[in-house]
Structure 1
Amino acid sequence: MDLLRRRAEAVPRGVATAAPIFADRADNAELHDVEGRRFVDFAGGIAVLNVGHRHPRVIAAVADQMARFTHTAFQVVAYEPYVALAERLNGLAPFSGPAKTIFLTTGAEAVENAVKVARAATGRSAVIAFTGGFHGRTAMTSALTGKVYPYKAAFGPMPPEIYHVPFPAPALGVTVEDSLRALAFLFAADVPANRVAAIIIEPVQGEGGFHVAPFALLRELRALCDRHGILLIADEVQSGFARTGRMFGIEHSGVEPDLVTVAKSLAGGFPLSGLIGRAEIMDRVEPGGLGGTYGGSPIACAAALAVLDVIEEEGLIARADAIGERLSARIADYAASNAMAPIANLRGLGAMVGFDILDAAREAPDGLRARQVCARALNEGLILLNCGVQGETIRILVPLTASDAIIDEGLDMLAAALAE
């Protein structure tokens, strides 16, 4: 295809693309490429399209805002959509007490600002993250990310005072007790607790393999943070906005974080991220210490307000649970079949569902085989992604607005891709 050649000549190798196709148009959970082929979308732009491609409410809100103005820089001339969206998210914050929100552009920016705010509020510098976690590709967020390849290996020394402990997951052979023991060792050997500004964790790991953070771990982290004056950051960039059957994934645990990073499905496909935090923590930064030229774009804020309306009015939180049950039931059937690629460790919350592909002996995770499944799925007409430490996990992020018929069609295509 000429576009593939042009892409190879114009775009660096470091920018990878999972599916070697080029989009032409898309609606809800269906995408058509430039060659006229139709695909069912189980990737959702990597968890960006919880309300689907081009939801009419989102498109209408964006068109209305574009007719008014497209940019002023909130730091130069403020505008109501930014304030209104901050008010909405403050009311939805998964913690008690007053909240405040800043808007940015990318998930990595949200995480960077969470670290900045935590350091300003505590007067400390160290940050603890988890193996397998993914927090972005900037220098700071690459350091926080708990995976060397491809995020760290070629980029020299990472920013200092970032520490990792093992993330507990049955599939990884790591228990909550193992993680807490490693944390205690860290405090004893590398960094005292009174120098730690924050602990950051994904309630459900995204790139790391859709492993759900055990609620017992989250409760212990909350207690530890309270004991030592450390802030708890919930990275909800991938798990937020109804995907897990709650507005935010951490709500399943009953644990209240201090700061919450959001992005992806916040604005229905328009670039927008945010940091929601306890008001007294957020206000520890002096004026001018936070912001960005494009942060909180009026177009993206208008889209996000429409997204929140759609989630509420279309009952997408409950819909996520129904989709998750539908996906899990079918995939469990596939796992029991001897005619399909070996499947193990079906997991997730709500409609954030993942499972591992094993080798022929059904003993070890097999990243190559998982990538082959994704390639065969694309040939069937299904856009599908893998993830995990070795790329062994198939993850499903179908729009929550997808019909049962479209979901079933995609699952049939998945079955064909798994067939061996």
Structure 2
Amino acid sequence: MTTATDTDFIGLEHEHAAHNYHPLPVVVSHGEGAWVTDVSGRRYLDCLAAYSAVNFGHGHPALVAAAKEQLDRITLTSRAFHNDQLGPFVTALAALAGKDMVLPMNTGAEAVESAIKVARAWGYRVKGVPAERATIIVADGNFHGRTTTIISFSNDPDARADFGPYTPGFRSVPYGDPAALEAAIDETTVAVLIEPIQGEAGILVPPADYLPAVRRITSERNVLFIADEIQSGLGRTGATFQCENAGVVPDLYLLGKALGGGIVPVSAVVGNADVLGVLRPGEHGSTFGGNPLAAAVGHAVVDLLATGEYQQRARELGEHLHARLRTLIGRGVVTVRGAGLWAGIDIDPALATGREVCERLMERGVLAKDTHGSTIRLAPPIVVERDDLDWAVDQLEGVLTELGA
């Protein structure tokens, strides 16, 4: 019997899967903790964690156990009926966020789309914005997903070009500039939608006074503050939410990725009844949103976060990771940004592109992903060991040396 190689799998994917990604040439077949193994048996340190969807590592025992137990019971009822997992899950998630209501969905983009609908309905039904005139303020460089509505307010040509006509109702202002944000608000504004840290843009951390200013301005102008914590939330930055690190509480949290534990897609809009309560039966829904399997896994994720252990681990290991990365500044690295176990690293473009650096890291057993030219990002699972982080930075240093830094 002939054993398939990575080339075989890559060939099948290239021939029959739409080319909407440009993956590194590695074929992963197994994973445990912060490590994955390819089809030939070689191990790699996962420093992407599926864009923070695998915050708790591959195959976390508590999450796998929750999924297996639920698989033996029931996996889908639709919301036409109640199930015994949804109520406990949304209660626990609301408590974790300090809110009182949860709208469960599946993907991060669905959470964003749901929040847009909620904000518009709130604007018409509560704030009194004239019909069909609601506007939402977003930030330049944003990434909130790739649905038609969301790419309508993106300024990333790869996500936006050739997919029009675009959905109206959005105004984009410079990220990190509260004065520009305030100037853009008028009587039609229903919400401000921002990432507390911009992920796809290169792990861009705004000035320390930015989020507090956003909270102040939105409160004063009777505008909802919607925080997209789909990548930054659930332990990644050393707190349950990055907003906590900034000392602010938004009106709505948007969650996804890690909420499903890397097992099933789970997302949610979390807020209080004075906002989420504007939805009426039949106005919004999802066949799979809030399904028993997703709720069981999501509840297990919330239980992990409720102890604070993972937030503390991400904070402490993140401090060590960033300290190590800063030693490379001037030695092939231009800048390092981030929070917790999340780092954006600008490589000197004279040396290599981000893609080239990631390909060389892969050859050394480290999986990372580039974004926007010469920037690479590191987001290892929170269960990663300190020695593994040191080894990963050593490999990056080795790559930079090979490139002539």
Same-fold call, TM > 0.5? yes
Q: Name the counterpart of 1:171.
A: none
Q: Distance in 2 between matches of 1:311 and 1:197?
A: 31
Whether 1:266 and 2:259 are equivalent positions in the alignment is yes
2:358 corresponds to which letter in structure 1?
C
Q: Name the counterpart of 1:307.
A: 301
1:381 corresponds to which letter in structure 2?
G
Q: Shift of residue 148 of structure 1? A: 2.3
Whether 1:333 and 2:327 are equivalent positions in the alignment is yes
Structure 2: stretches of 5+ with no match in the other structure: 1-6
Are the aligned partners of 1:134 and 1:144 in contact in 2 as well (CA < 8 Å)? Answer: no
Task: Return the match for 2:276 from 252, 271, 282.
Answer: 282
Aligned CA-pair RMSD: 1.7
Q: Shift of residue 19 of structure 1? A: 1.6
Q: Name the counterpart of 1:400.
A: 382
SS of structure 2 residue aligned to 1:285: coil
Whether 1:55 and 2:53 are equivalent positions in the alignment is no
Q: Shift of residue 184 of structure 1? A: 5.0
Q: Name the counterpart of 1:376.
A: 360
Q: Shift of residue 285 of structure 1? A: 1.3
Whether 1:152 and 2:160 are equivalent positions in the alignment is yes
Q: What do residues 238-297 of structure 1 show as CA deviations (whole Å, max 9, x unaligned)?
A: 001011111001111112211110001112112100000121111111112222001122
Q: Shift of residue 118 of structure 1? A: 0.7
| Correspondences of 1:53-132 after superposition (within 5 Å) | 53-73=58-78, 75-93=79-97, 98-123=99-124, 124=129, 125-132=134-141
1:10 corresponds to which letter in structure 2?
H
Q: Distance in 1 between matches of 2:24 and 2:290?
A: 30
Q: Shift of residue 21 of structure 1? A: 1.7
1:376 corresponds to which letter in structure 2?
R
SS of structure 2 residue aligned to 1:167: coil
| Correspondences of 1:126-141 after superposition (within 5 Å) | 126-141=135-150
Q: Shift of residue 314 of structure 1? A: 7.3
Work out the percentage of aligned pairs sharing the same amino acid: 34
Are the aligned partners of 1:374 and 1:417 in contact in 2 as well (CA < 8 Å)? Answer: no
Task: Return the match for 1:357 from 347, 354, 357.
Answer: 347
Task: Return the match for 2:391 from 406, 409, 412.
Answer: 409
Q: Shift of residue 298 of structure 1? A: 1.5
Structure 1: stretches of 5+ with no match in the other structure: 169-178, 188-192, 361-365
Q: Name the counterpart of 1:196.
A: 189
Q: Name the counterpart of 1:5.
A: 11
Q: Name the counterpart of 2:312.
A: 318
Are the aligned partners of 1:238 and 1:263 in contact in 2 as well (CA < 8 Å)? Answer: yes
Q: Distance in 1 between matches of 2:26 and 2:243?
A: 35
1:118 corresponds to which letter in structure 2?
A
Q: Distance in 2 between matches of 1:288 and 1:266?
A: 25
Q: Shift of residue 134 of structure 1? A: 0.4
SS of structure 1 residue aligned to 2:114: helix
Q: Distance in 2 between matches of 1:52 and 1:289?
A: 36
* Higher mean C-alpha displacement, 283-292 vs 328-337: 328-337
SS of structure 2 residue aligned to 1:245: coil
Are the aligned partners of 1:100 and 1:278 in contact in 2 as well (CA < 8 Å)? Answer: yes
**How many residue pairs end up in the alignment?**
387
Q: Name the counterpart of 2:4.
A: none
Are the aligned partners of 1:135 and 1:144 in contact in 2 as well (CA < 8 Å)? Answer: no
Are the aligned partners of 1:194 and 1:229 in contact in 2 as well (CA < 8 Å)? Answer: no
SS of structure 2 residue aligned to 1:219: helix
Are the aligned partners of 1:272 and 1:297 in contact in 2 as well (CA < 8 Å)? Answer: no
Q: Distance in 2 between matches of 1:233 and 1:353?
A: 23
1:266 corresponds to which letter in structure 2?
L
Q: Distance in 2 between matches of 1:213 and 1:118?
A: 24
TM-score, normalised on structure 2? 0.91
Are the aligned partners of 2:349 and 2:374 in contact in 1 as well (CA < 8 Å)? Answer: no
Q: Shift of residue 162 of structure 1? A: 1.2
